Amino acid sequence: MGAAVVGVDASSAFIRRASERAPRGLEFRVGDARTLNGIAPASFDGATLLLAAANIEPIAPALAAIERVVIHGAPLVLVLPHPCFRIPR
């Protein structure tokens, strides 16, 4: 639909699998959500954090990195699992 999409995950296995299964034209990078190194400031119109926020420690640097790479006022969509579906550790 005309969107440029970049997916970032710390797991090279997840990135490889996403690259194999996703439609052409999507970009995937192994990286740390707490830094988003290699992504220029204000280069995105929005961001999503899908089922990952609960697993990023600490979360504050990831939110700061997202704020850096999206344009001012851009939306951030957080998708979180309901606590009843988390496995106790």
Q: Residues 5-43: pLDDT tens digits? A: 899 999 999 999 999 998 888 899 999 999 999 999 999
pLDDT at position 89:
66
38-65: per-residue pLDDT in tens? 999 999 999 999 888 888 999 999 999 9
Average of per-residue pLDDT across 65-84:
91
| Contact in structure between 31 and 37 (CB atoms under 8 Å) | yes
Would the pLDDT of 81 be above 70?
yes
Provide CB contacts within 8 A for 72, sequence distance 6+.
Answer: 42
The pTM for the full model equals 0.82
| Contact in structure between 49 and 78 (CB atoms under 8 Å) | yes
